[in-house]
Amino acid sequence: MAAESSRSFGKKRVRDEESILDKGDADRTLGLENNLTFSDTLIALQMMRAQFPNIEKVAMQPFILRSQLYSSVKDRTQVDRDLESLKKEKVLRLFKLNTGQDDHAIMFLDDYLKQCALLSCGAEVKDKHVTFLISAGLLNRQLIDPNMYWFTIPNIGSILKGLSQGRKELLSFLNRRKFKEMLLAPLEKKQLRFSPLDMRFHLRDLIGSGHLKTVRTPTGLLVRVSKD
Amino acid sequence: MWKAVKDREAGVLLPSSFASRIRSHRVASFDLSNHKEIVSPHNGAINSLQVDLTEARYLLSGASDGSAAVYDIQHATDYERGLIAKHRSLFVVDKQHSHGHRYAISTVIWYPVDTGLFITGSFDHYIKVWDTNTTQVVMDFKMPGKVYRTAMSSIATTHMLIAAGSTDVQVRLCDIASGAFTHTLSGHRDGVMSLEWSTSSEWILVTGGCDGAIRFWDIRRAGCFRILDQSRSQLGRRPPLAESTSKKGSVTGQSSSVKTAVSQRRIPLGNETKQLRTLRKSQILTRGPVVQRLHPGLSSSHNRATAHYGAVTGLRATGDGMYLLSSGSDSRLRLWDIDSGCNTLVNYEAMRLQPTKALQLAVTQDSSLVFVPCMATVKAYDVWSGMTCRTFRGHYELVNCCCFSSQYQELYSGSNDRQILVWSPPNPIIAEMEDGRGGLVSVADQDNWSD
């Protein structure tokens, strides 16, 4: 009796440890299939921020693309409205990207501040302030009009290039297949050669922007290139 | 349905709500029409369609081969197999016509008062006014660029102006009564691809340009009085009046002209004149610092607020005149509240819109559904929630225009494959026939007595 009870006690402890381990690796092991949709915009933003891939070459704070948010929360109108109110409360910042139509990157304000080593909060803008900000990587000249500037995130260049190349690579990979579709589980495990961002990031983005669509099958989710 | 009839009889249901219920039920069952076909004589892509506003009986179409045709959509010209009505064109005017257009026709509209006149605008820089009965050109206007869109106000009682948008930055108003241009509206920075007269006032014109701006013009005074800015937004419908007066203090004036990709930083009105001066310096022709005095109610021409990130390709106002739908080449459809000038932030699900051509949108009469030509399909979206209700697949190539006839609840769509398709609620008798019963006597006509 004592031996049996000690054995069951031993098993329980092992199981407890396993469950703790699971929660720790939840982001990596659960995969996209179970984690595809969330109920609330802010929760979705925080979860995706936690899942942002770690890039060694560039010190980059996590950002989320707007199309990823659309693929994660069901009601798109609600997403837009939540983003608007979060912007007003100064929790988030929205950046327009030049990679394709209507691309926006969302960054939490604390992350943006961490990304910029110094910030100027001056009232008057003088030329020397502007050149200082440009050299710090925060401001960029707008080519159309010399008096208008873009706000940028420092060190974002290589990541944006990786973003557009990764999208093209994923779409061409699926287009080359016979039926232009693949199950989500094996697709997620593939590595992209040209992009430092991971496959899950690109999948969410392309599903949200409408280039890919997901279909439920008895063996799991299927990802297919959408025709129109 | 019979319960609804009994309710109307008893006075429980209002006749108007009974009618709107039947209409929305019919619209919800739309499909490719199984009893009506339009035989299109065009040899080019169909760019524009309009059903006439007086009796909703005649459909006008304009195509890329320079031809325009009129069809009678209520009475068929002949029947195929006795069941499917074929509507052939009543007449066609094309390049062979002595005064016909030489290049593609981009826009056709009926004269709003009656069907005796119609107006065509084409890429050969001309706008021609035709007499329908004699099919002769009565008047023409030469524009400085390719004509993209023309519009006439359907509620106008004091003027007969044709608003025309072309590749030129100025919008011109042509007068049929005098044969001359009466107004030139400047303010856009690029061509004007879409135009609409307001459905609530005969003096207000809305234009959407290739620079992405949507401007409101009152033609009785100079300049535009409102520019829609996509960063000014409100969450859904405006709150009722009592709540909104308390929030008046928080709403500031025009959006800043210094473009920040971060957005939402409003520069107070005091700094505006200083910025105008600095902006002026950057222009190539240096005229010295000129302070532009703004008349109350006028928008500065330096206001660079955009409604879309690309060109504005289509505009449609709802029937009640309160909301405006705009489609852009950034593949977005936006719903604007006209009175407050704000973006209502309704997100219409992922759509791909053709970026280079002007589109013609259609809205149902009670403003519940909007029909948008998306690539090779026509999609019906719910106006307030943005969900896709239906996708109509039938065309072989890109769809350019769609027109909704509210009187008979039918949708007409024209595309690059030279066809005009009719989408209507199915005719139940013909649906039964196709089920394979055969025979010419339909079931509905047979007597069904029990002895």
CATH at residue B182: 2.130.10.10
Looking at the 3D structure of chain B, how many domains does it have?
Answer: 1
Question: Which residues of chain A have a CB within 8 Å of the CB of B281?
Answer: 147
Longest dimension (CA), chain A: 85
Q: Where is average pLDDT lowest: A38-47, A168-177, B76-85, B276-285? A: B276-285
| Calpha distance B36→B75 (Å, rounded) | 10
| Calpha distance B151→B119 (Å, rounded) | 9
pLDDT attached to residue A6: 44
User: Could you tell me which of B403, B391, B420, B330 has the C-alpha nearest to residue B360?
Assistant: B403
Is residue B405 domain-resident? no
Cβ–Cβ under 8 Å, residues A200 and A185: no
- In this model, does residue B68 exceed pLDDT 60? yes
Residue of chain B whose alpha carbon sits nearest to that of A109: B262
| Calpha distance A188→A101 (Å, rounded) | 25
Residue of chain A whose alpha carbon sits nearest to that of B266: A88
pLDDT, averaged per 10 consecutive residues of chain A (228 residues), comes to 45 45 43 72 88 77 86 86 87 80 80 64 55 67 62 78 90 93 91 86 88 91 86
Confidence (pTM): 0.79
DSSP state of B295: P
- In this model, does residue B31 exceed pLDDT 60? yes
Residue A82: in which H helix or E strand, if any?
helix A76-88
pLDDT attached to residue B63: 96
User: Residue A25 is encoded by which pair of tokens?
Assistant: 């690796």
Portion 77-96 of A in contact with B at CB < 8 A: 77, 79-81, 84-85, 87-88, 93-96
User: Residue A145 is encoded by which pair of tokens?
Assistant: 């009009």
Is residue B266 domain-resident? no
Interface contact B235-A146, CB threshold 8 A:
no
pLDDT attached to residue A18: 43
DSSP A17-45: HHHHHHHHTHHHHSHHHHTS-BS-HHHHH
Cα dihedral A59, A64, A65, A69 in deg (nearest 10): 170
Question: Which residues of chain A have a CB within 8 Å of the CB of B233?
Answer: 84
Question: Which residues of chain B have a CB within 8 Å of the CB of A77?
Answer: 345-347, 385-386
A209 in contact with B, Cβ within 8 Å: yes
- In this model, does residue B342 exceed pLDDT 80? yes
For residues B124 and B254, which has the higher predicted lDDT (pLDDT)?
A: B124
pLDDT attached to residue A210: 83
Cβ–Cβ under 8 Å, residues B83 and B35: yes
Contacts 24+ apart (CB under 8 A), A177-183: A180/A224, A180/A225, A181/A215, A181/A222, A181/A223, A181/A224, A181/A225, A182/A222, A182/A223, A183/A217, A183/A219, A183/A220, A183/A221, A183/A222, A183/A223
CA distances from A193 to A163, A168, A211, A212 (A): 12, 11, 20, 20
**Mean of pLDDT values over B226-249:** 71
DSSP state of A4: H
Residue of chain A whose alpha carbon sits nearest to that of B386: A77
User: Could you tell me which of B155, B141, B152, B191 has the C-alpha nearest to residue B171?
Assistant: B191
User: Could you tell me which of B212, B114, B210, B134 has the C-alpha nearest to residue B165?
Assistant: B210
A148 in contact with B, Cβ within 8 Å: yes
Residue of chain A whose alpha carbon sits nearest to that of B283: A145
| Residue B139 Cα, gap to closest chain A Cα (Å) | 42
Interface contact B233-A84, CB threshold 8 A:
yes
- Angle between the N-to-C axes of helices A157-176 and A199-209, in degrees from 0 to 180, rounded to the nearest 10: 70
Is residue B394 domain-resident? no
Name, in order, each residue with C-beta under 8 angstroms of A143's C-beta and a sequence gap of 6 or more. Answer: none
Q: Which residues of B422-433 are buried (b: 16+ CB within 10 A; e: fewer)?
A: bbbbbbeeeeeb
Count the helix, strand and coil residues of chain B and give each as a percent rounded to the nearest 5: 15, 35, 50
Domain that holds residue B114: 45-236+296-365
| Residue B340 Cα, gap to closest chain A Cα (Å) | 17
Interface with chain A: mutation pick from B229, B230, B251, B263, highest number of A CBs within 10 Å: B263
The neighbouring-strand residues paired with B404 are B411
Of A77, A87, A102, the CB nearest to B385: A77
| Calpha distance B113→B129 (Å, rounded) | 14
Query: Cα B216 from chain centroid?
Result: 16
pLDDT attached to residue B313: 94
DSSP state of B263: -
| Residue A22 Cα, gap to closest chain B Cα (Å) | 35
Question: Which residues of chain A have a CB within 8 Å of the CB of B265?
Answer: none
Cβ contacts below 8 Å, chain A against chain B, sum to 70
Q: How confident is the model at residue B92 (pLDDT cuts 50, 70, 90)?
A: very high
Interface with chain A: mutation pick from B258, B259, B264, highest number of A CBs within 10 Å: B259
- Angle between the N-to-C axes of helices B15-28 and B2-10, in degrees from 0 to 180, rounded to the nearest 10: 160
Q: Where is average pLDDT lowest: A175-179, B1-5, B393-397, B432-436? A: B432-436
| Calpha distance B196→B346 (Å, rounded) | 21
- In this model, does residue B47 exceed pLDDT 80? yes
Is residue B107 domain-resident? yes
pLDDT attached to residue B236: 74
| Calpha distance A27→B178 (Å, rounded) | 72
The mean predicted confidence, pLDDT, of chain B is 84
**Mean of pLDDT values over B399-424:** 94
Cβ–Cβ under 8 Å, residues B317 and B206: yes
User: Could you tell me which of B185, B159, B183, B181 has the C-alpha nearest to residue B171?
Assistant: B185
Q: What is the CA radius of gyration of chain A?
A: 22
User: Could you tell me which of B261, B333, B347 has the C-alpha nearest to residue A70?
Assistant: B347
How many residues can be counted in chain A? Answer: 228
Interface contact B345-A151, CB threshold 8 A:
no
Of A85, A87, A228, the CB nearest to B352: A228
For residues B247 and B52, which has the higher predicted lDDT (pLDDT)?
A: B52
The neighbouring-strand residues paired with B50 are B60
How many CA atoms lie less than 13 Å away from A189 in the CB half-sphere? 5
Which amino acid does the sequence have at B226? R
Residue A73: in which H helix or E strand, if any?
none
Residue of chain A whose alpha carbon sits nearest to that of B258: A148
What percent of chain B clears pLDDT 90, i.e. is strictly above it?
A: 60
| Calpha distance B34→B40 (Å, rounded) | 17
| Residue A214 Cα, gap to closest chain B Cα (Å) | 14
Name, in order, each residue with C-beta under 8 angstroms of B438's C-beta and a sequence gap of 6 or more. Answer: none
pLDDT attached to residue A121: 46
Interface with chain B: mutation pick from A65, A74, A81, A209, highest number of B CBs within 10 Å: A81
CA distances from B154 to B59, B160, B198, B200 (A): 16, 10, 9, 10
| Residue A147 Cα, gap to closest chain B Cα (Å) | 7
Of B259, B345, B386, the CB nearest to A84: B345
Question: Which residues of chain B have a CB within 8 Å of the CB of A70?
Answer: 347, 350
A100 in contact with B, Cβ within 8 Å: no
User: Could you tell me which of B179, B103, B115 has the C-alpha nearest to residue B141?
Assistant: B179
Cα dihedral A97, A102, A108, A112 in deg (nearest 10): 10
Q: Where is average pLDDT lowest: B45-54, B263-272, B373-382? A: B263-272
For residues B449 and A15, which has the higher predicted lDDT (pLDDT)?
A: B449
| Calpha distance A47→A63 (Å, rounded) | 11
DSSP state of B55: T
pLDDT attached to residue B424: 93
Q: How confident is the model at residue B260 (pLDDT cuts 50, 70, 90)?
A: very low
